[in-house]
Amino acid sequence: MNSQCRRSTPGEDMVREGAARAAAHRVRSVLLAALLSAAVTSGSAQAPASDAAAQIRALELAQNVAIAHGDAAAMAKVTSEDFAFITPRGFLLSRAQMLQGLSNGEFTYEYRQISDLNIRVYGDAAVVTGQSLHTIQQGGREWSDGYRYSRTYVRQHGAWLVVVWQSTRED
């Protein structure tokens, strides 16, 4: 038996790494879609405030994953058509602008975590305040920041949707 070891070329290594990343992204997308679907549809009946708060918490965690992975499709499922995002610098972005920013790969998250969630439910509306810590890569630069944010949800046709998201940088 004549066995030979052949080294792979850098191009072959890149193709294998790219395929592995693509497969991992597909798995993450499927899991995230399932989590978002369960969280959005679980609000179909008028639930007690504690159940609604649990649904909102699940949406917050799923959105954090979607944002960290630039998953615009997942974010589109949980934002209302008239959604508005007020950026830390005070810019007002529409839903389309926010989704475009997520999907164009202009920046990537190396790390993103949310904490200090306070969820208040008012019938078919809810307000969330929390803290976001993240490390971002953009244009060859990397930086870490902390933000306080608020999100307002409205239950429309049995599903919780974000209507407003406002973020303020912590100094």
Predicted pLDDT at 47? 54
Point out which residues pair with 126 in neighbouring strands.
121, 153
Model pTM above 0.85: no
Predicted pLDDT at 140? 84
Predicted pLDDT at 100? 93
**In the chain, % of residues over pLDDT 90:** 58
In this predicted structure, the answer to whether residue 80 has a pLDDT above a threshold of 60 is yes
Residue 113's pLDDT band (boundaries 50, 70, 90)? very high
CB 60 within 8 A of CB 130: yes
| Domain positions in the chain | 10-169
- Mean pLDDT of the 82-91 span: 95
In this predicted structure, the answer to whether residue 151 has a pLDDT above a threshold of 80 is yes
More confident residue, 34 or 56: 56
Burial of 71 from C-beta contacts in 10 A (0-12 / 13-18 / 19+): buried
* Amino acid identity, position 82: D
Residue 77's pLDDT band (boundaries 50, 70, 90)? very high
Among the ranges given (22-36, 76-90, 134-148), the one the predictor scored with the smallest mean pLDDT: 22-36
Q: How many CB atoms lie within 10 A of CB 147?
A: 16
Mean pLDDT for the chain overall = 80
In this predicted structure, the answer to whether residue 19 has a pLDDT above a threshold of 50 is no
**In the chain, % of residues over pLDDT 70:** 72
Biggest CA-to-CA distance, the chain: 75
Predicted pLDDT at 50? 81
- Fold classification of 10-169 is Nuclear Transport Factor 2; Chain: A, (3.10.450)
Predicted pLDDT at 143? 87
